[in-house]
């Protein structure tokens, strides 16, 4: 039909042109050019009118669905692992100090020796303290005799109750004085407060000690502590009695349990102190050695997903896109728990889900899509994400 119309218009144009030539041979070339444009435009719109029904038929076809790749993800048991930088420390470490003044007369225990509770570490000169004790004991004997005599005389009616009370007060005073001088004398011997190791001696014979001056340090060898600090974001993952493994700078690896987690942060570093209690029966551990220890929290259900599947929601929160019934895309908010070399562990997903791992950046919640399982892709199925399968 287009050919017929074109033939008729061409004939019309030739006839019209001949008529114009006969009517006026002086018609300008611009008029001829304008007429040609009108003819071409008319042909264009006629052709669109003739094929318009076919175009509408193409447009009325349903749009193709976007194709994504999904991965089936199921909940697994996950255990949080927190690595803490710290150091070893003796659970009991005491600096033994003088309680009286005096010159050091002897140091019977060498450094590094194993000691028992009560062993003498430093001996302070007795000087007049022994004589003072003897004097106090003599005064006590006299006060006891006076009191006994006063009691007998009172029974015979020769002493008043007031005299007996005075004798009793003198006796009590003598007893207290004797005990006091005896305690002062005993303080000339600075002894070990518990079983352990005499780690360091701070004085030599002839040194003068004042009250609170150190004699030396005693360490209890077992159990030992590994002390570190965790950040604010990780402290909630560590609990008392969690299992832990410490690796020391000296090469040893030891296991223990979390004994203490601080309730208040260090104001300077905003970190929380954590103590790992470890055995040291053989005494091989040393105080102050650098250590890294890992704590293992109780197991909980979590999903292990690829890092690349993470997206941001409309509110800026972290989440993933999953596939629901009928191929509908859903957005689910998640919370990061941990990571490893193969991906990340997250909370927030419910049961088994179809996770969109490819094409998730080009779809939105509520959109209908076609899906291909990632196992099929790995098996060699050719797929262009975004194309209609």
- Same domain? For 131 and 174 the reply is yes
| 335 within domain boundaries | yes
| 105 within domain boundaries | yes
Write out pLDDT tens, residues 256-300: 999 999 999 999 999 999 999 999 988 889 999 999 999 987 778
- Same domain? For 43 and 53 the reply is yes
Contact 70, 383 (CB under 8 A): no
pLDDT tops 90 at residue 176: yes
Domain boundary among 300, 328, 347: 300
Count: domains in the chain: 4
Q: Which CATH number covers residue 224?
A: 2.40.30.170
- Same domain? For 101 and 214 the reply is yes
Contact 68, 383 (CB under 8 A): no
| 150 within domain boundaries | yes
- Same domain? For 157 and 267 the reply is no
Distance CA 36, CA 47 (A): 17
Band the pLDDT of 156: cuts 50, 70, 90: confident
- Same domain? For 317 and 307 the reply is yes
- Same domain? For 354 and 292 the reply is no
The two three-digit tokens of residue 115, written as one number: 């000691």
pLDDT of residue 175: 95
Contact 295, 244 (CB under 8 A): yes
Q: Which CATH number covers residue 151?
A: 2.40.50.100
| 372 within domain boundaries | yes
- Same domain? For 100 and 180 the reply is yes
Q: Coil, helix or strand for 29?
A: helix
| 151 within domain boundaries | yes
| 169 within domain boundaries | yes
| 384 within domain boundaries | no
Contact 283, 306 (CB under 8 A): no
Work out the average pLDDT over 336-347: 87
Residue 80: count other Cβ atoms within 10 Å of its Cβ. Answer: 20
pLDDT of residue 339: 83
Domain boundary among 274, 300, 326: 300
- Same domain? For 247 and 316 the reply is no
Mean pLDDT of the chain: 85
Q: Which CATH number covers residue 311?
A: 2.40.420.20
Distance CA 302, CA 145 (A): 84
Contact 322, 332 (CB under 8 A): yes
pLDDT of residue 34: 65
Contact 262, 274 (CB under 8 A): yes
Q: Coil, helix or strand for 284?
A: coil
Domain boundary among 218, 242, 273: 218
Domain containing 237 equals: 83-91+220-300
- Same domain? For 207 and 238 the reply is no
Residue 278: count other Cβ atoms within 10 Å of its Cβ. Answer: 25
Which of 283 and 211 is assigned the larger pLDDT? 211
Is the pTM for the entire model greater than 0.75?
A: no
Work out the average pLDDT over 374-380: 74
Q: What is the 3-state secondary structure (H, E, C) of 76-129?
A: EEECCEEEEEEEEEECCEEEEECCCCEEEEECCCCCCCEECCCCEEEEECCCCH
- Same domain? For 103 and 210 the reply is yes
- Same domain? For 252 and 296 the reply is yes
| 388 within domain boundaries | no
pLDDT of residue 47: 61
Quick one: what percent of the chain has pLDDT higher than 90? 56
DSSP 158: S
- Same domain? For 100 and 214 the reply is yes
């Amino acid at each position: 039909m287009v050919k017929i119309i074109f033939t008729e218009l061409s004939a019309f144009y030739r006839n019209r042109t001949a008529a114009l030539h006969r009517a006026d041979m002086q018609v300008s070339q611009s008029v001829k050019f304008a007429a040609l444009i009108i003819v071409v435009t008319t042909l264009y719109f006629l052709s669109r009118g003739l094929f318009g029904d076919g175009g509408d038929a193409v447009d009325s076809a349903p749009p193709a669905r976007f194709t994504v790749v999904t991965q089936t993800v199921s909940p697994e048991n996950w255990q949080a692992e927190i690595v803490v930088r710290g150091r070893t420390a003796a659970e009991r470490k005491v600096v033994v100090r003088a309680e009286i003044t005096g010159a050091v007369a002897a140091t019977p225990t060498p450094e590094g020796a194993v000691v028992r509770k009560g062993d003498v570490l430093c001996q302070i000169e007795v000087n007049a303290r022994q004589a003072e004790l003897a004097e106090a004991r003599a005064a006590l004997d006299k006060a006891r005799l006076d009191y006994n005599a006063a009691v007998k005389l009172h029974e015979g009616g020769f002493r008043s109750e007031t005299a007996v009370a005075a004798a009793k007060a003198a006796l009590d005073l003598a007893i207290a004085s004797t005990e006091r001088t005896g305690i002062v004398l005993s303080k000339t011997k600075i002894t070990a407060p518990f079983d352990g190791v005499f780690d360091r001696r701070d004085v030599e014979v002839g040194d003068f000690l004042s009250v609170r001056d150190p004699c030396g340090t005693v360490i209890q060898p077992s159990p030992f502590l590994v002390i570190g600090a965790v950040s604010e974001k990780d402290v909630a993952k560590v609990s008392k009695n969690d299992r832990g493994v410490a690796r020391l700078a000296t090469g040893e690896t030891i296991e223990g349990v979390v004994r203490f987690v601080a309730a208040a942060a260090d104001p300077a570093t905003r970190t929380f102190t954590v103590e790992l209690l470890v055995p040291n029966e053989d005494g091989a551990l040393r105080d102050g050695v650098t250590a890294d220890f890992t704590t293992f929290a109780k197991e909980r259900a979590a999903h292990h997903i690829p890092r690349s599947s993470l997206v941001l929601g409309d509110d800026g929160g972290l989440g993933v896109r999953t596939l629901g019934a009928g191929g509908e895309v859903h957005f689910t908010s998640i919370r990061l728990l941990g990571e490893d070399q193969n991906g990340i562990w997250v909370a927030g997903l419910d049961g088994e889900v179809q996770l969109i791992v490819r094409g998730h950046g080009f779809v939105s919640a509520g959109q209908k899509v076609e899906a291909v399982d990632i196992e099929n892709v790995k098996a060699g199925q050719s797929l262009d994400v975004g194309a209609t399968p």
